[in-house]
C-alpha cells in the first residue's frame, strides 16, 4: 500500500492511497439542540462549496484533547449560547464515505438553557428557531445530511415508548 499527500490545507488533507483519492478531515460533532421551551435551534450559514446558505445543526470539529461531548458542548455554546441540559450521543456517521474519512458524532441535547453566543469572527451564522412540532414539515427543506440524520433520530426518540 502506498500513500502520498497531494494537498495539505488548514482543514483537510488529500492523499492518494493505492490510486484512490481520500480526503482526511478528522472527527466532527453535530447537535440537535432543544431548549426548555421545546424549540430546536438550527443555523443558516453560507457554504461556498454548494453555492449558498445551508440550514444545518450547530456543528464543528474536535480540538486537540477534546472528547466528542466536550467538543459538542463547546461548539453549541459558541455558536448559539445554549448550554446545560441533558446530552446523549445518538449516533456516529460518516459524512461522505465515498472519499472522506470525516466521522460525525451526532448528539441530542435537550432542556437547554439560553445564554450568550460567541461565534468565531469569521463565522456568519443566522440562528433559526423551530418549534419541535414543526420539524416534520421542515424535513423536506433540509439538504445537509448530518442535519437530516440528526433531526430524524431526534423525532424517532420522541415517538419511542418509555
| SS3 of 12-58 | CEEEEECCEEEEECCCEEEEEEEECCCEEEEEEEEEHHHCEEEEECC
- Catalytic entry in 6, 123, 126, 143: 123
Burial 78-116 (b: 16+ CB within 10 A, else e): bbbbbbebebeebeebebeeeebbbbbbbbbbbebeeee
Bridge partner residues of 106 (DSSP):
30, 91
Which grid cell is 44? 443558516
- State CA 9 to chain mean position distance: 21
Any catalytic annotation for residue 123?
A: yes
- Contact criterion met (CB below 8 Å) for 47 and 59: no
Active-site annotation, residues: 123
Amino acid at each position: 500500500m502506498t500513500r502520498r499527500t497531494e494537498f495539505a490545507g488548514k482543514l483537510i488533507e488529500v492523499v492518494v492511497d493505492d490510486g484512490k483519492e481520500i480526503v482526511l478531515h478528522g472527527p466532527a460533532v453535530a447537535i440537535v439542540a432543544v431548549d426548555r421551551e421545546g424549540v430546536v435551534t438550527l443555523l443558516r450559514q453560507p457554504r461556498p462549496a454548494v453555492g449558498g446558505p445551508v440550514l444545518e445543526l450547530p456543528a464543528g470539529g474536535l480540538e486537540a484533547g477534546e472528547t466528542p461531548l466536550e467538543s459538542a458542548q463547546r461548539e453549541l455554546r459558541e455558536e448559539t449560547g445554549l448550554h446545560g441540559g441533558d446530552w446523549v450521543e445518538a449516533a456516529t456517521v460518516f459524512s461522505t464515505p465515498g472519499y472522506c474519512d470525516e466521522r460525525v458524532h451526532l448528539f441530542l441535547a435537550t432542556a437547554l438553557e439560553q445564554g450568550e453566543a460567541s461565534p468565531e469572527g469569521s463565522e456568519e451564522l443566522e440562528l433559526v428557531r423551530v418549534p419541535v412540532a414543526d420539524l416534520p414539515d421542515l424535513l423536506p427543506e433540509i439538504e445537509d445530511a448530518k442535519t437530516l440524520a440528526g433531526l430524524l433520530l431526534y423525532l424517532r426518540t420522541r415517538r419511542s415508548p418509555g
